[in-house]
Amino acid sequence: MGASAVILVVVVYTSWRHFRGVTPPSSQKVMLAVLPFENLTGDPNKEYLADGLTEETISQLGQLNPEQLGVIGRTSVMGYKHKDTRLNQIGHDLSVQYVLENSLRENGNQLRLTAQLIQVKDQTHLWAKDYDYVAKDILRVEDDVAKSVAQEIRLRLTPQKQAELAQPHPVNPEAFEAYLQGYHFFQGNTDNHANMATTYFERATHLDPSYALAWAWLTRARNWQANQGLIPMEEGRRLARDAVERALSLNPNLAKAHIEMGRLKQQIDFDWVGADASFQRAISLEPGNPEGVRMAAWSAAMFGRFDEAVQLGRRAVDLDPLDEESWWSLGQIERLNGQLDQAAADGKKGLELDPDSAGVHILLSQIYLMQGRPQDALPEIERIHYPSYRACLYALAYHALGREKDSDAALSELMKYHASSASEIVAVYAFRNQPDKAFEWLDRAYAQHDLNLNWTKVDPLLRNLHNDPRFAAFLKKLNLPN
């Protein structure tokens, strides 16, 4: 068992034990933020360890009793890394009552993790503890902190959850370190980072073939490589499927594995029903995982279950309120449901977090076009840094403005990306009411397994195609209910 993992076990166990002193209101769950582990080892190369421990602690605490305890997602808390933000400001930003502060020190082969639980309203230190472990024993700390947190806020834990926290989690220490390195690189969010992450996730699975979580993340990394053309598509998706099937065979109750299986069912199999079941299974296993909640929300929207989709979208925002992607995702679901004013308001909240968010600028452009405000869409389109999306939206806006030559020029620019943007070309022809061309490109998008085809049924930009009998036939071909 790796040293990093033992520390997490102990920290989570101890947090459960000491959180028992607070009784949450019956009508409201307690909200907790796990602040980024502060790397006090003196070695900047240990940042991956501090970041990995942050993510693992969030995940473990989030699974204790989601009805009573909500744990803020990683993206929101990582914004406080290396910042001296006052606790009352954090409480206001994240709407949390409690904060778990953590630091990591190193002395020879000894690691010391310091964790302290603080009540935000009066900044009372409810509990603090140091954990000293040799490097090979760190995994145990996670469960110990979980138990301490749960006890301090008097969480009711099922016998199964108590048994899980009491059990050891044997992981090869080198495999755990490799997994943390892979996770660290994956968060870099570039193609080069994806390649590095894949290398480390593969190393983790070689060192410990029974490490289900490493297999699940290897799936995600392989799928990224395949979708971005970093490796041949067929090979990448085969490797991704092999990895996720291995993860699920090792741990059928691993939420991350069900999320990745859902992605593959959507993107490769066009098995929307199976994907929806995978996402539902993921959020039943880990209701506090913002990624799983967002994927379940998108899946519900794709089927037209908009009440459920909006509810899940808002839950994702509550779990990760400083994550621009959560606000963008909610806004897109509201746009698809025709809630244009609310979609614009929520999208702009995402823009406050990241003024350069291409997703939000795309969203606002689409909203303005649907509202008959193409002139207002133009400044938003200008700020989109994805050339295919920018060309697509210019083609739509210029058509709406009656500038057909400019629309044709934008469409010609979009055609340069036909191998990966067939669905955007469909949107232009549908919006311009050129159904024959639209259906020709729908067939091309199908042949390319275009990732955006899952919105075919509900995308308002395709509304001009709905009464054409070819549309119902295409939905049937796509395995989407009409």
CB 230 within 8 A of CB 195: yes
Residue 331 lies in a domain: no
* Structural domain for 211, as ranges: 173-283
Indicate which CATH number applies to the domain containing 199.
1.25.40.10
Quick one: 110 and 194 in the same domain?
no
226-261 pLDDT tens trace: 988 899 988 999 999 999 999 999 999 999 999 999
DSSP at 451: G
Quick one: 258 and 274 in the same domain?
yes
pLDDT, residue 430, reads 98
The domain total for the chain is 3
Residue 337 lies in a domain: no
pTM of the model: 0.87
Confidence band, pLDDT 50/70/90 cuts, at residue 2:
very low
φ/ψ of residue 41, rounded to 5 = -75, -15
- Which residues are bridge partners to 98 per DSSP? 32, 119
Average pLDDT estimate for 303-330: 95
Quick one: 148 and 194 in the same domain?
no
**Tokens of residue 470, six digits:** 């070819």
Confidence band, pLDDT 50/70/90 cuts, at residue 451:
confident
pLDDT, residue 440, reads 98
Residue 322 lies in a domain: no
User: Which of 253, 283, 313 is the last residue in one of the domains?
Assistant: 283
Residue 351 lies in a domain: no
| Least trusted range by pLDDT, from 140-154, 302-316, 318-332, 360-374 | 140-154
Quick one: 17 and 160 in the same domain?
yes
pLDDT, residue 356, reads 93
pLDDT, residue 323, reads 93
- 325, containing H or E segment: helix 324-336
Quick one: 34 and 101 in the same domain?
yes
φ/ψ of residue 166, rounded to 5 = -85, -20
User: Which of 252, 283, 314 is the last residue in one of the domains?
Assistant: 283
Residue 308 lies in a domain: no
Burial class (CB within 10 angstroms; exposed 0-12, middle 13-18, buried 19+) of 230: middle
CB 33 within 8 A of CB 321: no
Quick one: 199 and 99 in the same domain?
no
Distance CA(31)–CA(283), nearest Å, equals 18
Quick one: 230 and 91 in the same domain?
no
Quick one: 156 and 30 in the same domain?
yes
Quick one: 43 and 83 in the same domain?
yes
Quick one: 178 and 157 in the same domain?
no
Quick one: 124 and 179 in the same domain?
no
Quick one: 384 and 452 in the same domain?
yes
